[in-house]
Amino acid sequence: MKIKPELLAPAGNLEKLKMALIYGADAVYMGGKAFGLRAFSDNFDEAELEQGIRFAHSLGKKAYITINIFPHNNDLINLPDYLKYVAKIGADAIIVSDPGIFRIARQITPNLPIHISTQANNTNWSAVRFWQELGASRVVLAREISLADIKLIRQKVEIELEAFVHGAMCMSYSGRCLISNYLTGRDSNRGECAQPCRWKYHVMEESRPGVYLPVQEDERGTYIFNSKDLCLINHLPELIASGLSSFKIEGRMKSVHYVATVVKAYREAIDSYARSSVSADDQQKWLDELQKVSHREYTTGFYFNKTTAQDQIYASSSYMQTHDFIGLVRKYHAETGMAVVEQRNNMKVGETIEIMQPGAENFVQTITQMFDAEGNSIQVAPHPQQIVTMPVARPVVPYAMLRRPEIRRERA
């Protein structure tokens, strides 16, 4: 049996945390209401942080808390109390970018493991060894290095190494960008990035105000900073062989459907590669799954070559997906074959749906009947989070997801 790396998933809120772990993640990373680089995800208040950590530990899994902003002086005022709280509630590690936060954490919570964030831009073995010698337990490598770089770093250091395998890419060195600050006043290095790298840009010549010229001769304009999304699902053997300890999925601001689908695909892939039982059909199945969630076109990033124009998207900043998430199973009654479903998108009797659940094959069926909470037969469930009951073709478990295939489209 090959050594399997940890599968680390994003948790933007408590529901996403539960879905990530139920669908196969070994650990999650999440942020409180302060000190994290995803200020516009839901994030966790103190009670939710405790609940999330308890849930992870109840499954024998881990929870890491992000404290990865680049702080200014006033950000440090409440940091000691927050660190004490995070240690008290049993976080398995904190994720840190800034040496100042690292220093205070070592003083205040010396027994709390520290992971060095990708925001610290570690691109060489000497930088990684620097953090090792200071007492860090893991370094999340910069997304801007190659697989060959990772292998050399692994040979030179004795510390856990983590790397991203899936999700959005940044046009700057792992987030060190001031475009958002300049254009919107929102500090990307303190969790408030407005993602102006995804916007459409034109050029205006000084003597012709109001005349906007496309940077690229294309009637749709151009998105000059807009990267494709990272996807390494079919390159996991090389990553496993490189000695990485953890495979990280990006996406604390992504949907529940995104988190569950991506985690399940990578869980199956990691387990299959560890057994050396992977076929071309398996690889295609995982890629097909990753097409079902909202995403940009995929790239392998910096892992195998320097990036080129082929790793960017110049015509649009839209997302694409092949399926809509329409319902979440809350209960299943084996004696009747009926599932209690919480509606997440308009669904109707007669529609063909796919049901995905952890640890089992997806299956397709038609919605033949639906009943509302009072037991009345209904043809459509139009209300958000409406509770309906319907027959399902196979047994399902809580947190199984209903999704509706559709013609492939782009989403703004």
222-252 pLDDT per residue, tens: 666 778 889 999 999 999 999 999 999 998 8
Question: Higher-confidence residue: 16 or 185?
Answer: 16
**Residue 191, exposed/middle/buried by CB under 10 A (0-12, 13-18, 19+)?**
buried
Bridge partners (DSSP) of residue 298 are 229
Which residues on neighbouring strands pair with residue 343, listed in sequence order? 327
**Model confidence at 193, in pLDDT bands (50, 70, 90)?**
confident
Average pLDDT, the chain: 89
> Any bridge partners for residue 114, and if so which?
94
Give the β-pairing of 401-411 and 352-356: antiparallel
Identify which of 52, 53, 51, 31 has the alpha carbon closest to the alpha carbon of residue 42: 31
- What local confidence, expressed as pLDDT, does residue 409 receive? 46
Q: What domains does the chain contain, in order, with CATH numbers?
A: 6-173+226-317 (3.20.20.70), 321-411 (2.40.30.10)
| H/E segment holding residue 148 | helix 147-156
Mean pLDDT, residues 366-381 taken together: 97
Residue 276: per-residue pLDDT: 80
Nearby residues of 74 by Cβ (< 8 Å), 6 or more positions away? none
pLDDT confidence band for 411 (50 / 70 / 90): very low
- Give 227's DSSP letter: B
Q: What is the mean pLDDT of residues 76-98?
A: 96
Is residue 390 within 8 A of residue 335, CB to CB? The reply is no
Residue 317: CB atoms within 10 A of its CB come to 17
pLDDT for residue 66: 95
Relative orientation angle of helices 14-22 and 46-58, to the nearest 10 degrees: 10
Reading the block at residue 295, the tokens are: 């995403």
Q: Where does the pLDDT of residue 296 fall: very low under 50, low under 70, confident under 90, or very high at 90 and above?
A: confident
The CA distance from 127 to 123, in Å, is 7
Per-residue pLDDT tens for 316-344? 667 789 999 999 999 999 999 999 999 99
Name the token pair of 5.
């790396």
Q: What is the pLDDT of residue 277?
A: 76
Q: How far is CA 255 from CA 16, 131, 138, 298, 326, in A?
A: 8, 33, 27, 18, 12
Per the CB < 8 A criterion, the answer to whether 31 and 66 are in contact is: yes
Q: Provide the b/e sequence for 250-268 (b: ≥16 CB within 10 Å).
A: bbbbbbbbbbbbbbbbbbb
Q: Is residue 133 within 8 Å of 127, Cβ to Cβ? A: no
pLDDT on residue 295: 87
Contacts of 61 (CB under 8 A, 6+ apart): 21, 25, 26, 27, 28
Please state, in angstroms and rounded to a whole number, the distance separating the CA atoms of residues 324 and 353.
10
Q: 276-282: which pairs have CB atoms within 8 A and are 24 or more residues apart?
A: 276/2
Tokens of 207: 């003597």
Query: DSSP character for 150?
Result: H
pLDDT per residue as tens digits for the range 249-286: 998 889 999 999 999 999 999 999 988 878 889 999 99
Is the pLDDT higher at 33 or at 288?
Answer: 288
Share of the chain above pLDDT 90, in %: 67
Q: Which residues contact 411 (CB under 8 A, 6 or more apart)?
A: 294, 318, 319, 320, 321
Residue 183: pLDDT band with limits 50, 70, 90: confident
Alpha-carbon span 258 to 321, nearest angstrom? 10
* pLDDT at 191 exceeding the cut of 70: no
CA–CA distance, 13 with 45 (Å, rounded to integer): 9
CA distance 201 to 226: 11
> Where is mean pLDDT largest: 94-108, 163-177, 266-280?
94-108
Phi-psi region of 24 (alpha: psi -120 to 50; beta: other; left: phi over 0): left
* pTM for this entry: 0.88
Beta strands 160-167 and 138-140, pairing class: parallel
Q: Give yes or no for residue 217 having a pLDDT over 50.
A: no
